[in-house]
Amino acid sequence: MNQPMISQIIFAFITAATIYVAYKLYSKVLLGIGLGKGDWPQDHPAKRRKQMLLIAFGQKKMFKRWIPGVLHFFIYTAFLLTQVELLEMVIDGLLGTHRILRHLLGPLYVFVVGSIEVLSVLALIGTTVFLIRRNILKLKRFHNPEMKGWPFKDANLILLGEILLIAGLFMMNGAETVLSEDHPFFPFSSVFGPMVFGSMTEGSLHFFQHAGWWLHMLVVYGFILYLPFSKHLHILFAFPNTYYAKLSPPSEMENMPEVEQEVKSMLGLLDEEVPMSEDIPEFGVKDIFDLPKTTLLAAYTCTECGRCTDNCPANITGKKLSPRKIMMDIRDRVDEVATNIRAGKHLKDNMEDAPISQRYDDGKTLHDYISPEEIFACTTCMACIEACPVLIRPMDPVLELRRYHILTLAAGPQDWLPMFTSLENNGCVWQIPDSRLKWAEEL
């Protein structure tokens, strides 16, 4: 069996193994997101498509900070365009061909591979700057308490992986420019290729060409398997997240059906009397099962860029609240529950027909991750929502967690209790001796 055939078999095996493992990893993520309540919104599809194209594809909100926005755009566009060459490399690896798309695309191919090199150099500049900002300049938002340990290492690993991707690509192209005169035009490799590889033997050139190809492909496959553990899952989930994101104004809070029905009943706005349920309802969010699927998707979409926390007035003034941490905590809790469910852990017996939210009980809730101090520090100013580049709303789960504390647990900050008492007795947040509506009695 010749060497190319052995390489094809090895590459086919690695590709099949990557697909299988990726299916297992991503299915767990999708299982976790599916634990949320409600259905995916289907209203206003045209508005949603426009929102997705502007925010996820067009990177509209990234440019509010133009320097990181431009650098991120270099990396993003390089990522998009290199998918063409990646497709070609996969086909070549499986079929034993070399640059199979060159004959199919003709002159367009030369433009594509040339553009990829230019964008790769720009992406390398952006990646280097991002590494400097995190590790040398040490921007504050990358060193908040929630970024200690794995989250900080995760960002660095991805940036270093991007450098390896670019190195593999230029190693392959550089060796090819010296090895063969019949190669596409490479704007940068045609210059540095002869400088680096010009004195090498033909055998060495073949080695470095194949080594660059294998390095690029193995890093890509490793990246695919790494994404479910990384904040960089947003490169996939930013598109569905921006599509399913709320179209309503950020300041619009959702009513609680039970409370709304009770108020309507008191005001005589119901056509018929609704029978009272014997079960005491739980208000707000106790665990991830009470959050919408869209919020769980948003948790996995979070880029951990910290713009929300950087703009949060509570965090700026030294309070414990960090909107970024809220989304990270939700994601960690979802991941923990999904892992246990797949392993068959903490599921109640003899309840196979019950919803998974009733069957699962590990003795913990989302409130074990997010403290009351964080929940009650939120001023509902919506700065976090305005700052997020992928339309995540950290304020929404904070309000729902707060509702659970106040309405279900009858808990809350002590200095809030007089306000609640006055509101319940007088319909007014101020402690006045008379009813709020007394002025209207003689009208």
pLDDT category at 329 given cuts 50, 70, 90 is: very high
Q: Are residues 200 and 267 in the same domain?
A: no
Q: Looking at the domain assignment, is residue 262 inside a domain?
A: yes
Q: What is the mean pLDDT of residues 338-358?
A: 90
Higher pLDDT, 419 or 91: 91
Nearest by Cα to 385 from 443, 324, 321, 435: 324
Instruction: Please tell me the distance from the alpha carbon of residue 443 to that of residue 438, in angstroms, as a whole number.
Output: 10
pLDDT digits (tens, 9 = 90+) for 95-136: 999 999 998 888 899 999 999 999 999 999 999 999 999 999
Residue 343, Cβ density class (10 Å: 0-12 exposed, 13-18 middle, ≥19 buried): exposed
Q: Are residues 403 and 418 in the same domain?
A: no
Domain containing 387 equals 257-411
pLDDT of residue 407: 87
Nearest by Cα to 291 from 392, 197, 382: 392
pLDDT category at 25 given cuts 50, 70, 90 is: very high
What letter represents residue 321's amino acid? L
Q: Are residues 310 and 273 in the same domain?
A: yes
Asked if residue 117 lies in contact with residue 81, where contact means CB atoms within 8 angstroms, the answer is no
pLDDT of residue 1: 42
pLDDT of residue 3: 56
pLDDT of residue 349: 86
Task: Choose the final residue of a domain: 220, 244, 268.
Answer: 244
Q: Are residues 326 and 429 in the same domain?
A: no
Q: Tally the domains of the chain.
A: 3
Is the model's pLDDT at 335 over the cut of 90?
yes
How much is the pTM? 0.91
pLDDT category at 277 given cuts 50, 70, 90 is: low
Q: What is the mean pLDDT of residues 228-238?
A: 95
Instruction: Please tell me the distance from the alpha carbon of residue 53 to that of residue 42, in angstroms, as a whole number.
Output: 17
pLDDT-above-90 percentage for the chain? 76
Q: Are residues 265 and 283 in the same domain?
A: yes
Q: What is the mean pLDDT of residues 289-309?
A: 97
Instruction: Please tell me the distance from the alpha carbon of residue 358 to that of residue 61, in angstroms, as a whole number.
Output: 39
pLDDT digits (tens, 9 = 90+) for 184-214: 889 999 999 999 999 999 999 999 999 999 9
Half-sphere exposure of 135 (CA within 13 A, CB side): 14
